[in-house]
Amino acid sequence: MSRLRKKHRTESEVFTDTLVDILFIVLMFFLIVSTIANPNVVSVNNPSGSKDTKAKQHIMVSIDQNQQLYLGTTAIASASFDSALVGEIRRYQTLVDTPTVVINADTAAQYGEVFRVMRLAKKEKARVVARVD
């Protein structure tokens, strides 16, 4: 008769209350850090666009309303900007086949400066993307 008796198994229970709290804190941390880590720190008024495409941002060129040129976050004089941009493109060409130059121009920026940057980047076989809002 003892063989016919079923043994009651105790089921184990995993408490996940603290795991949910920890995951929530980690999620909040990554959301806050991702908004802080914006490479576009030069404040300009971007034109608006209709397409929503994303490009890898290898090289960021900014032009503000005073026609000041920035390579990344560094202000560069207009006379030496061409050589600085060519040097940056060539440095990235050792890492990737076709580096991307993202132009972040203010709506009050002169079109000639934007076109000069686009032409120079295309001449160096880089992909050119204009940033719009």
> Quick one: pLDDT band at residue 95, thresholds 50, 70, 90?
confident
Neighbours of 117 (CB within 10 A): 22
Q: Which domains does the chain have, with CATH numbers?
A: 59-130 (3.30.420.270)
Alpha helices in the chain (DSSP H): 17-36, 78-93, 111-123
**Distances in whole angstroms, Cα of residue 123 to Cα of each of 86, 90, 107, 127:** 9, 12, 25, 10
Q: How far apart are CA 30 and CA 41, in angstroms?
A: 19
Please choose, from the candidates 118, 133, 129, 109, the residue with its C-alpha nearest in 3D space to the C-alpha of residue 49: 133
Mean pLDDT of the chain: 81
Q: How far apart are CA 70 and CA 20, in angstroms?
A: 44
Q: What is the pLDDT of residues 41-91, one digit of tens each?
A: 666 666 666 665 565 677 888 888 888 999 888 889 988 988 999 998 898
The predicted model scores a pTM of 0.58
Which pLDDT does position 37 carry in this prediction? 64
